[in-house]
A and B are shown apart, each in its own frame.
Chain A
Amino acid sequence: MIKEGKFGVNEAVCLVTMAICNKIFSTTPGYITRTIGNTGWYMTLISCATALVFFILIYLLLKRFPGKNIVEIYDASLGRAVGFIFSFLLMVSFLLSVGIYTREFTDILKIYSLPFTPPSVIIGTLLSVAAAAAFLGLETIARVARLAFYPALLGYLLILIFSSKNFEPSNLLPIFGYGLDKTVITGILRGSAYDEVIILAVFAGSLQGIGQIKKAGFISLLLSGFIISVGLLCFSLVFEYTSIQEITIVAYVMTRKIEYGVFFQRMDPLFLLQWIITTAIYISILFYTTVSIYCKLFRLQDARPVVIPIAVLVFSIAIFPKDFTSVVTEYVQGIRNYGNITFFIMPVIALIIAVIRNKRGETKCAD
């Protein structure tokens, strides 16, 4: 099994929160508004609550097999054959996620910043960073996430605070959007927006016991819920819901609207740097998770030989969609809709089967 090193709760929280919250800079806010109107800010809290429920179940599964990661648990709970399929599906989900998010990022960057740069260059360079991160290992990625998290959070909050000048409270009306039932149902179904919390189960062996996993999971989910909710609330306050639907990245346009006097205007550089850096780290996290699951799946001792082949695979996936519209409406939404199955439902199935078959891990590692 590959050696991934150790990291603490703090790093874990930054890692997961950064992975989850990066969606606020994507096309997701616009798409949500198209579906449920201006109620995204509390819809996401429902999604967060849904993810919390699933995380509790994942935590129960991990608690049953202390010291083991999700791949080992699938094997122990379901048997090698079924466990392999489950782990493989998880790996494929991450592989598709990293490929599609890379493509989504590439297309947005082309729209706003690099219109003449070929997508393959953007994808290639981004994946080079992810591959370098994978070479350096999980400890390094966790440290980078920890290092970048607070400046990124500060930059994000600054953008929100500076945008307060453009807030229009009446934009929040009607308060139930397209209907409360629609908001609640969408909120539950979009629990997959928080599915990156499963990373903690993949790297369970790198955290110091199940207590830390629980702590990191709860903190990161609650923090992410707060960050995303506040962001969506500010978007709704600045733009009418009809406008948000038409905007590709709401956060970027909101930043461009900031203007205090003649000189203090155009905060786009702040946003752009923050967005690219957090996305590069986000893609690195997802990419390494894919590599890690693959290595655990095939019981490889060293992750480095598979980094480049997986990077090539991700590149192929990223280049596959024909246009930006299909990326946003088909692929990203496909991951959102079906992500629940691999990231949340499958661990629950594993838990149920473990209970039925009375499978448990050794208790000596339990804290």
Chain B
Amino acid sequence: MSNLIKTVTGMFSYTEPRNKERGFELLDDEIEGVEAENTPQAANASDAISPELHVNLETIRQKFLISKNQDVIIREFKIGRKLRAYMAYIDGMVNKQTLDLSIFPQLMSRDVFEELEKECPVDYLIENILTVHEVKRSDKYSDIVIQILNGMSALFVEGCNECILIETKGYEKRNVEAPKVETVVKGSQEGFTENLRTNVTLVRRIIKNENLVTEMLPVGNTNHSNCAVMYLEGIANSKVVEEVKRRLKRIDADFIMGDGMLEQYIEDNSLMLFPQMISTERPDRAASFIMEGKIIIIGEGTPFAIAAPITFFGLFHTSEDYFLRWPGGNFLRLVRIFGLFCATFLPGLYVALTLYHVEMIPTELLVSIARAKEVVPFPTLLEVLIMETSFELIREGGIRVPNVIGQTLGIVGALILGQAAVAAGLVSPMLVIVVSITGLGSFAIPNYTLAIAIRIERFLFIFAGAVLGFYGISLMSVILTLFVCSMKSFGVPYLVPVAPKTKSNADVIFRYPIWALKERPDGLNTPNRKRKGNNPKLWISEDNPDDTDKGGKT
């Protein structure tokens, strides 16, 4: 009866429906905004350190949300058993041995204050007690917090309005291993790692020159990442260096991780397909870029560095080109350029030829193509798209799957693309050959970003060929060339030294013998263009004194 009354009254009254959803639900309500305003960071307006230790302690606790954060360590102790102090650091980011053996024992020793007369012992501690290689001081919380996050330990002392930042970085990192993307037969087998310091050191180890400058710049407003800008003073164009730093400093983003993100923030034109900076995972290649007058940017967290400014032709160069003798190096470049041509045009040309210009195919070849296509039920465009899409799927799948089954996927993919597709009458054997050569061509492109751009372009050419034959392909080529010609990388035209024409360089498409590469690229406008003397092979003149003049002219 009571239930009936409830039901009847319920029909005339309104009650808030209960949330019957199970589990967590993220609602777009106003509480989030209020919470954001009440964060400890917002509450602390003052950035200066207080001489009172308990105030500092409380501030640090608030800033690092100590009540929730369990990996931030605050170690309170007494210096020389008299003066109260505490050390703040992040567990896992510091080398505990350094703390346990070189810092705490010295600070806690009875003998610390034998000669101390001043009130604030910061100078005394730095000069006499702390036996670590790098010590800094700071009086701003903003700076201290970032340094602690980077792996330093902050020592706060009672009565001091300065904090001592002690170098104790000691986090886990990957060892230097062989490069995974830019493998070479001849040449260095060292690759960058995820650690910024290690990467900088790897480059420094190659260029042992006092003019090699490494500037550390903070990027990322929230993740407080760092990046290193490396260049050779007196070789790199100072205007380009300033421009690179200006762009890096003016990035207003909360999260930046590695070179890939940095590249997108500082490149000249985001809408273009082609890369405007070169990414490398090889320290030797990064070093060679620096020697050319380029600027290297190394981000934190990825084993890559980016170089700027670049030109289109530089995207075909590899470090191996210079380790090989020049005929071999040039031959490989020729193969890569042919690969680029195949990767870009081949499917499009195939579509255009078979749809619009059959009269242009030699008769025997035409008969062969026609016979193969006889059993295929799809139009040529669809046939090409099926194959190209399958190929792209296999390639993408091959990258994403674990290495163990990656090989299997490749074999399965090859079977699907090749034999099975032909046997099922889905595609013609000729097309399998075309797509295979196209795939091989795109693998021959040494720059990954360029290879992706070419993959996209390939589809544009396929559609252009399908819609307007050679006419469409030609127009698409002109349009893309127009866009490429309008591109610049940090003020350097993309197709320099060909368009616009500048002073010829011995290393553009083909390269001369190594001793003839005497000058840096003209397009970079380096203050010092000369790389070698007039006769880099002085031993020739030493062996044959008569050849001195001849050598000077080379």
What residues of chain A have their CB less than 8 Å away from a CB belonging to chain B?
Answer: 7-8, 10-11, 109, 113-114, 117, 121-122, 125-126, 128-129, 132-133, 136-137, 139-144, 146-148, 262-263, 265-266, 268-269, 272-273, 276-277, 280-281, 284
- State whether the Cβ of B448 lies closer than 8 Å to any Cβ in chain A: no
11 A-B pairs besides A11-B499, A129-B482, A136-B485 with CB distance below 8 A are A10-B500, A113-B357, A122-B471, A139-B486, A141-B482, A142-B500, A147-B481, A262-B364, A263-B362, A266-B362, A276-B475
- 28 sampled A-B residue pairs with Cβ under 8 A: A7-B500, A11-B499, A11-B501, A113-B357, A113-B470, A114-B469, A117-B468, A121-B468, A132-B479, A132-B482, A136-B485, A140-B482, A143-B495, A143-B499, A144-B485, A146-B499, A146-B500, A146-B501, A147-B499, A148-B481, A269-B360, A269-B470, A276-B470, A276-B471, A276-B474, A276-B475, A280-B475, A280-B478
Closest to B353 in A: A269
- Listed from nearest, the 8 A-B pairs whose CB atoms lie closest are A276-B474, A143-B499, A143-B485, A10-B501, A140-B486, A147-B499, A146-B499, A280-B478
Nearest Cβ on chain A to B169's Cβ, whole angstroms: 49
Nearest Cβ on chain A to B70's Cβ, whole angstroms: 57
Residue among A10, A11, A125, A263 making CB contact with B468, cutoff 8 Å: A125
* Inter-chain contact B483/A136, CB cutoff 8 Å: yes
User: Which residues of B are found within 8 Å of A262, using beta-carbon distances?
Assistant: 362, 364
User: Which residues of A are found within 8 Å of B471, using beta-carbon distances?
Assistant: 109, 113-114, 122, 125, 276
Given the complex of chains A and B, what is the CA–CA distance between A139 and B501 in angstroms?
Answer: 12
Chain B interface, number of residues (Cβ within 8 angstroms): 31
Mask, B369-411, CB within 8 Å of A = 1, is 0000000000000000000000000000000000000000000
Given the complex of chains A and B, what is the CA–CA distance between A266 and B360 in angstroms?
Answer: 6
Where chain B touches its partner, the secondary structure class is helix
* Inter-chain contact B474/A280, CB cutoff 8 Å: yes
User: Which residues of B are found within 8 Å of A144, using beta-carbon distances?
Assistant: 478, 481-482, 485, 499
Nearest Cβ on chain B to A62's Cβ, whole angstroms: 22
- State whether the Cβ of B498 lies closer than 8 Å to any Cβ in chain A: yes
- State whether the Cβ of B493 lies closer than 8 Å to any Cβ in chain A: yes
Given the complex of chains A and B, what is the CA–CA distance between A281 and B133 in angstroms?
Answer: 64
Closest to B498 in A: A147
* Inter-chain contact A269/B357, CB cutoff 8 Å: yes
User: Which residues of A are found within 8 Å of B362, using beta-carbon distances?
Assistant: 262-263, 265-266
Residue among B361, B468, B500 making CB contact with A143, cutoff 8 Å: B500
- State whether the Cβ of B113 lies closer than 8 Å to any Cβ in chain A: no
User: Which residues of A are found within 8 Å of B474, using beta-carbon distances?
Assistant: 272-273, 276-277, 280
User: Which residues of A are found within 8 Å of B361, using beta-carbon distances?
Assistant: 266
* Inter-chain contact B483/A277, CB cutoff 8 Å: no
* Inter-chain contact B495/A147, CB cutoff 8 Å: yes
- State whether the Cβ of B148 lies closer than 8 Å to any Cβ in chain A: no
Nearest Cβ on chain A to B97's Cβ, whole angstroms: 60
- State whether the Cβ of B322 lies closer than 8 Å to any Cβ in chain A: no
* Inter-chain contact B479/A129, CB cutoff 8 Å: yes
User: Which residues of A are found within 8 Å of B449, using beta-carbon distances?
Assistant: none
- State whether the Cβ of B473 lies closer than 8 Å to any Cβ in chain A: yes
Interface centre among A7, A121, A126, A136 (most CB of B within 10 A): A136
Mask, B478-508, CB within 8 Å of A = 1, is 1101110110000001010011110000000
Closest to A7 in B: B500
User: Which residues of A are found within 8 Å of B501, using beta-carbon distances?
Assistant: 8, 10-11, 146
Residue among B360, B364, B475 making CB contact with A125, cutoff 8 Å: B475
Mask, B489-531, CB within 8 Å of A = 1, is 0000101001111000000000000000000000000000000
User: Which residues of B are found within 8 Å of A11, using beta-carbon distances?
Assistant: 499-501
Given the complex of chains A and B, what is the CA–CA distance between A276 and B478 in angstroms?
Answer: 9
User: Which residues of B are found within 8 Å of A140, using beta-carbon distances?
Assistant: 482, 485-486
User: Which residues of A are found within 8 Å of B500, using beta-carbon distances?
Assistant: 7-8, 10-11, 139, 142-143, 146
Given the complex of chains A and B, what is the CA–CA distance between A139 and B359 in angstroms?
Answer: 39
- State whether the Cβ of B356 lies closer than 8 Å to any Cβ in chain A: yes
Interface centre among B471, B486, B501 (most CB of A within 10 A): B471
Given the complex of chains A and B, what is the CA–CA distance between A7 and B499 in angstroms?
Answer: 10
Given the complex of chains A and B, what is the CA–CA distance between A117 and B356 in angstroms?
Answer: 11
User: Which residues of A are found within 8 Å of B477, using beta-carbon distances?
Assistant: 277
Given the complex of chains A and B, what is the CA–CA distance between A12 and B550 in angstroms?
Answer: 37
Given the complex of chains A and B, what is the CA–CA distance between A146 and B500 in angstroms?
Answer: 8
Given the complex of chains A and B, what is the CA–CA distance between A277 and B356 in angstroms?
Answer: 18
Interface centre among A137, A144, A146, A277 (most CB of B within 10 A): A144
Given the complex of chains A and B, what is the CA–CA distance between A148 and B498 in angstroms?
Answer: 10
Nearest Cβ on chain B to A226's Cβ, whole angstroms: 21
Interface centre among B356, B468, B499 (most CB of A within 10 A): B499
Given the complex of chains A and B, what is the CA–CA distance between A284 and B481 in angstroms?
Answer: 13
User: Which residues of B are found within 8 Å of A10, using beta-carbon distances?
Assistant: 500-501
Given the complex of chains A and B, what is the CA–CA distance between A133 and B486 in angstroms?
Answer: 10
Given the complex of chains A and B, what is the CA–CA distance between A143 and B500 in angstroms?
Answer: 6
Nearest Cβ on chain A to B259's Cβ, whole angstroms: 29
User: Which residues of A are found within 8 Å of B493, using beta-carbon distances?
Assistant: 143
Closest to A264 in B: B362
Residue among B364, B475, B482, B483 making CB contact with A126, cutoff 8 Å: B475
* Inter-chain contact A133/B468, CB cutoff 8 Å: no
Interface centre among A268, A272, A281 (most CB of B within 10 A): A272
User: Which residues of A are found within 8 Å of B469, using beta-carbon distances?
Assistant: 113-114
Interface centre among A7, A141, A266 (most CB of B within 10 A): A266
User: Which residues of A are found within 8 Å of B470, using beta-carbon distances?
Assistant: 113, 269, 272-273, 276
* Inter-chain contact A146/B357, CB cutoff 8 Å: no
Given the complex of chains A and B, what is the CA–CA distance between A113 and B357 in angstroms?
Answer: 7
Nearest Cβ on chain A to B341's Cβ, whole angstroms: 12
User: Which residues of B are found within 8 Å of A117, using beta-carbon distances?
Assistant: 468
Question: Known: A129-B479, A133-B482. Is A268-B364 also a contact (CB below 8 A)?
Answer: no
* Inter-chain contact A114/B485, CB cutoff 8 Å: no
Given the complex of chains A and B, what is the CA–CA distance between A143 and B497 in angstroms?
Answer: 11
Given the complex of chains A and B, what is the CA–CA distance between A126 and B471 in angstroms?
Answer: 9
User: Which residues of B are found within 8 Å of A139, using beta-carbon distances?
Assistant: 486, 500
Residue among B364, B473, B499 making CB contact with A273, cutoff 8 Å: B473
Closest to B478 in A: A280
User: Which residues of B are found within 8 Å of A8, using beta-carbon distances?
Assistant: 500-501
Nearest Cβ on chain B to A269's Cβ, whole angstroms: 5
User: Which residues of B are found within 8 Å of A277, using beta-carbon distances?
Assistant: 474, 477-478
* Inter-chain contact B498/A114, CB cutoff 8 Å: no
CB within 8 Å of A: which B326-371 residues: 349, 353, 356-357, 359-362, 364
Nearest Cβ on chain A to B218's Cβ, whole angstroms: 37
User: Which residues of B are found within 8 Å of A133, using beta-carbon distances?
Assistant: 478, 482
